Amino acid sequence: MDGLWTLYLDRVVGPMASPGAFPTREREAQALRLDGHMDTTDLALLRRAGPITANPVEAIRSWLPEFTALRCDLHAHPETGFEVHRTAALVAGKLAAWGIEVHRGIGRTGVVGVLRNGPGPRIGLRADMDALDLTEANGFAHASRVPGRMHACGHDGHTTMLLATARYLAATRRFQGTVVFIFQPAEEGQGGAQAMIADGLFERFPCDRIYALHNWPGMPVGHFGIATGPVMAGCAFFDIGVQGRGGHGARPENTVDPVVIGAQIVGSLQAVIARNLPAQEAAVLSVTGFDAGNAYNIIPDRVALRGTVRAFSTEVMAMMEGRIRSLAAGIAGGHGAQVDIAFREVTTPLVNDEIPSNIAAAAARDLVGPGRVERDLAPSVIGEDFAAMLDKVPGAFVLVGNGEAGVPELHSPHYDFNDAAIPYGAGLLAATVERELRAED
């Protein structure tokens, strides 16, 4: 075979393709030349080229060098929060090149791709694109080129996996219905999911079910964690201001001392979980800040407390908010002080619905066998804003192995996404869509 055609087979179709499936080889090669480059993104060529293996992990693995290069490029150019302009442009360009309808600027810098293949249900697949404010400690060639920013949560890998899924589904179209590819900004505590929802995400691009992935250090590559029920904790932050009446440290009888009141509130909050939750429920309440006076002989007017709570159900979150409010108000009131309390939810608890988690698990078992699909995962206290999307549309959040125990944790300056996981994560999303939107034979 001539060089161009060999390259096309290797890079576009993959080594498993049958050469006999290419009746118009000259025309295809000419089209590639007319196209002026050897980009592997020509959807029409892909579709005319013939069968791609029905196992999406194997098909996507044949594209691994290209997607590894893409992932390393994203890793080297991390962007944070809503400022993911370069990443969003790259995503939009790839989707468009593969013939997928692209919508930009949803939730400021979010990107949505729509792939229709006849009538049928609509499945949403979501990836996050943002990095963290962290200085990378790695020295490899694809380390961050932006001081103080780093892809330390693997969202570079999530974006790459969803792109690989999009390309596979666009090329193969072994489904009936619509796939909505959702690339969101600002997952790391800045409300990117909520911003896309508020911008009409699910009104403009209705989804019957949604799925997302997160890489999981400590779980071997090629393994999946798919729980039914709680997966990630909800997270909230609180502030409590105690307004007393300051004065001389030697004459407390003339003051309303907010330091003593604040200390009593801190002590009482320790009983919220211990005395209100059944033993089999889990939650966390931590007071993490106590700002008071700064002199030896002055009782301040005011103290400010702050902290965080984590829980796995909205009921427990609501219970904790209620107890924090009533204890703080009761203790301050009992001493004649005023109290102001702010409680803000950062993420709701992430809870996988039963049917979609079973569908994802069945797809995973098909790909890697039942021994590599963990269904009984202990929920994590890490927060994840995909929970906000799951509050609107039933779905599941799947953990993808990123390497055995001992690899750096998420948010570590030594972390790196494991590119060997790309075919598994991308393949699972593709297999889930094919299972959800099974085409009539």
Contact stretch for Zn ion (CB under 5 A) within 58-66, 110-118, 147-155, 349-357: 147-155
The least distance separating Zn ion from the CB of residue 231, rounded to whole angstroms, comes to 13
Taking the least distance from each CB to Zn ion, the nearer of 188 and 257 is 188
Q: Which is nearer to Zn ion, 61 or 214 (CB)?
A: 214
The distance of Cα 261 from the centroid of its chain, to the nearest Å, equals 40
Q: Interface residues for Zn ion in 174-193 (CB under 5 A)?
A: none
Position among 88, 112, 153, 407 found at the interface with Zn ion (CB under 5 A): 153
Q: Minimum distance from CB of 215 to Zn ion (Å)?
A: 8
Q: Is the Cβ of residue 153 or residue 317 nearer to Zn ion in the bound state?
A: 153
- Return the range that interacts with Zn ion (CB under 5 A); candidates 56-64, 146-154, 173-181, 343-351: 146-154
Both tokens assigned to 38: 């050897």
> Which of 36-53 are b and which e, b meaning 16 or more Cβ less than 10 Å from the residue's Cβ?
eeeebbbbebbeebeebb
Q: How far is the CB of 143 from Zn ion (least distance, A)?
A: 18
Q: Supply the minimum distance, in Å, between the C-beta of residue 64 and Zn ion.
A: 22
CB of 323 to Zn ion, least distance (A): 29
Per CB under 5 A, the segment of 152-160, 282-290, 307-315, 432-440 that binds Zn ion is: 152-160
52 sits near Zn ion (criterion: CB under 5 A): no
Instruction: Give the interface segment with Zn ion, choosing from 9-17, 41-49, 105-113, 150-158 (CB under 5 A).
Output: 150-158
State which residue, 52 or 84, has the beta carbon closest to Zn ion: 84
Binding segment for Zn ion among 151-159, 227-235, 321-329, 413-421 (CB under 5 A)? Answer: 151-159
Whichever of 125 and 153 has its CB closer to Zn ion, that residue is: 153
417: left (phi over 0), alpha (psi -120 to 50) or beta: beta
Query: In this chain, which residue has its C-beta nearest to Zn ion?
Result: 153
Total residues contacting Zn ion by CB under 5 A comes to 1
Binding interface with Zn ion (CB under 5 A): 153
